[in-house]
Amino acid sequence: MKRVFVNMTRVPGTVGCVTDERLPDDGYVAYGVTVDLVILTIRADQLCVLLVRRGLAPFAGALALPGGFVRPDETLAQAARRELAEETGLLLPELPSRGSAWPGVHLEQLAAYGAIDRDPRARILTIAFLALAPDLPEPRGGTDAAAAEFVPVTALSGLGALAFDHAEILADGLERARAKLEYSALATAFCPAEFTVAELRRVYETVWGAPLDARNFHRKVTGTSGFLEPVGHSTARDGGRPAALYRRGAAELLHPAMRRPPAATP
Amino acid sequence: MKRVFVNMTRVPGTVGCVTDERLPDDGYVAYGVTVDLVILTIRADQLCVLLVRRGLAPFAGALALPGGFVRPDETLAQAARRELAEETGLLLPELPSRGSAWPGVHLEQLAAYGAIDRDPRARILTIAFLALAPDLPEPRGGTDAAAAEFVPVTALSGLGALAFDHAEILADGLERARAKLEYSALATAFCPAEFTVAELRRVYETVWGAPLDARNFHRKVTGTSGFLEPVGHSTARDGGRPAALYRRGAAELLHPAMRRPPAATP
DNA sequence: CAAATAGTGTCTATGAGACACTATGCA
DNA sequence: TGCATAGTGTCTCATAGACACTATTTG
């Protein structure tokens, strides 16, 4: 499918004219730019991703990652935050431009995707972001989402392909999340402000898809300095002996790192 | 500095009109997109980055990372490969779209940078790539490089600021490289096709800026399966007992990982 | 021979994983 | 009392780091 790019523009003040073959060195071609979000949460012990059902062509009726065009007055991170707020109904304070985070929600850049025909309409690049959040209220149909829903990632093979190259983006987001649980305190982003060690362990087990030894896990996380901060030993119950509650500590990176078992992640 | 965006375009087939305030949901604004390269190599036991002296405004006369606009018929990775070839004079075979690599040279996506005023002329996003290469021939002034030279990264504080946000991009690239030496076989990308354990160790010491114990290093790298593959025990000399030569093995990721000493990286 | 670099052996501290055991709640 | 979950102690194995020691070259 060879397309003619009619949406080339020149910017006053730059040299260069636009042809289809070879651009002058300071030539300038403009592309559409979107942000797409991999928003992960844990519901009922399942790792879920927020997907929207597309209403418009292309891929009308298919599931897709939430996202939208970057506006001229916002950075990439700001666009991602706006989309996140629109899709989840969360209101977010202003954030530093890169990385985390307000209490509990984590947002970071994942990668840029620029395959030539990833959007059949025109050349559109997307910058994907990864968001991790504790269990959220039901997503409200945002302004640009026909219908948004959290879908267990294990159910995706049976749901048909995602729109555009979103399956690849989602796979990259999942792998990033799984990898970062090893060496960062990111798992706490899936937990409410106060949580027990068992809840944190279930996060690891759910994201990695592998069981962990509860005793060793407890020793490890409580022994890693800066990971957890005990909040006055209030407790909550879950059937047995009450558990101590913790808040996330100051550490971003874990020393030593948690070790992901070699098990599969189906 | 408030600018008016005159370079907004509409793409036939998409709805939406362009205003400065609020875009319809499927609205579309176009931006300039470049790739910028952090090309690292090791020369004379110093970690060096390839920089070009800008000839044109803005930042005329300043040092900058090599890069250029993405053409409409190439992916981001292809644009990065083209720029790499133009700047270094290397001829490169066609590659799979993500990650590495042809013998010895590594290229991977680093991140996207989209601060609103990162280019004073217009809204331009850049996708940064990280390249690691063995000692290259003197860079030839490429088509769009006024002059290209490898600069030791330790010398950069005394050279004045880099153009645009390239100091931030370079810092991110350096940190990525330092981190990936820990858990990947990336250090071999700084070495020629055949190398000794001592040469590999000098790569680690140079990138990390910290000395390593030669004996323990030797045991570790030769004991990590898939990292090094002994090529018929030919040798080369460097003053003392001849050393065995190795080629990089099949492993991308190291098990167990190398450990970066806590030392500073000045 | 000495000097220089390559490579091995050995000891110790630390952390991971296995798992017995104790602690504290509820029905 | 029985059961479920929380949390600790202890053993074993693997690996990191320190460093003594051997091996193989050149001058």
Contact present, B147 and B52 (Cβ < 8 Å): yes
Tens digit of each residue's pLDDT (9 = 90 or more) over A188-238:
999 999 999 999 999 999 999 999 999 999 999 999 999 999 998 778 777
Q: Do B11 and A20 touch (CB under 8 A)?
A: no
Residue A62: predicted pLDDT? 93
Percent residues over pLDDT 70 in chain A: 79
Q: What is the pLDDT confidence band of residue A97, given thresholds at 50, 70 and 90?
A: very low
SS3 of B180-213: the string is HHHHECHHHHHCCCCECHHHHHHHHHHHHCCCCC
Residue B47: predicted pLDDT? 97
Instruction: Give the lowest-confidence range in A54-63, A172-181, B136-145, B229-238.
Output: B136-145
Q: How much is the mean pLDDT over chain A?
A: 83
Strand D–CB B211 distance below 7 A: no
Contact present, A210 and A201 (Cβ < 8 Å): no
Q: How many C-beta atoms lie closer than 10 Å to residue A158's C-beta? A: 6
Would the pLDDT of A95 be above 80? no
Q: What is the pLDDT confidence band of residue A87, given thresholds at 50, 70 and 90?
A: confident
Through-space separation of residue B6 CA and nucleotide C27 C1' in angstroms: 73
* Segment A89-113 mean pLDDT: 66
Higher per-residue pLDDT: A51 or B5: A51
Quote the longest CA-to-CA distance of chain A: 73
Element at B214 (helix H, strand E): helix B214-223
Through-space separation of residue B170 CA and nucleotide C26 C1' in angstroms: 59
d(C-alpha A130, C-alpha A39), whole Å: 6
Instruction: Give the lowest-confidence range in A94-103, A231-240, A242-251, B143-152.
Output: A94-103
Q: Which residues contact A212 (CB under 8 A, 6 or more apart)?
A: A201, A204, A205, A261
d(C-alpha A97, C-alpha A106), whole Å: 12
**Buried b / exposed e along B140-158 (16+ C-beta atoms within 10 A):** ebbebbeebebeebeebee
Closest nt by CA–C1' to A213: C17
Residue B98: predicted pLDDT? 38
Residue A103: predicted pLDDT? 53
Residue B188: predicted pLDDT? 96
* Segment A139-165 mean pLDDT: 77
Q: What is the mean pLDDT of each run of 10 residues along chain B (266 residues)?
A: 35 34 58 97 95 89 95 96 85 45 78 96 95 78 64 86 96 97 96 95 97 98 95 82 95 93 60
Tens digit of each residue's pLDDT (9 = 90 or more) over A104-130:
689 999 999 999 999 998 999 999 999
* Three-state secondary-structure class, residue A81: helix
| Tokens describing residue B248 | 């990089």
Q: Do B76 and A144 touch (CB under 8 A)?
A: no
Q: Which residues contact B8 (CB under 8 A, 6 or more apart)?
A: A72, B18, B29, B30
* Three-state secondary-structure class, residue A91: coil
Quote the longest CA-to-CA distance of chain B: 73
Tens digit of each residue's pLDDT (9 = 90 or more) over A155-165:
988 777 899 99
Q: Is B126 left (phi over 0), alpha (psi -120 to 50) or beta?
A: beta
Cis check for the bond before B163: say yes or no (omega within 30 of 0): no
CA A140 to chain centre: 18
Distance of residue A72 Cα from the nearest chain B Cα, in angstroms: 7
Contact present, B212 and B187 (Cβ < 8 Å): no
